[in-house]
Structure 1
Amino acid sequence: MYLLHIALAPVISLIAGILILIVPRLLNYIVAIYLIVIGILGLMHGG
């Protein structure tokens, strides 16, 4: 699971950055979704 977290976080960050550049109004949603996904991955890894 740890390898999935390492590989997934940079990909999510890259996609989020591109979406923010294209549609700045999505910033709040993208940040919220990113934090939720990273939090869930952290809980799965810790459990």
Structure 2
Amino acid sequence: MGQQKQKITPSLWFDTQGEEAAKFYTSVFDNSRIVDVTHYGEAG
């Protein structure tokens, strides 16, 4: 039986500067991309 390739789906959570961090991580890891960005207000 062949080995299955494991798929990793990371999720990052930041109170501030999250987009900057995500852009940094996608620049470091090959074949990575930002799929979605969600902004929440003060109550979020």
TM-score range, shorter chain: 0.3 to 0.5
Q: TM-score, structure 2 length as denominator?
A: 0.39
- The one of the two structures with greater contact order (alpha-carbon pairs below 8 A, sep at least 6) is 1
More helix by share: 1
Q: TM-score, structure 1 length as denominator?
A: 0.37
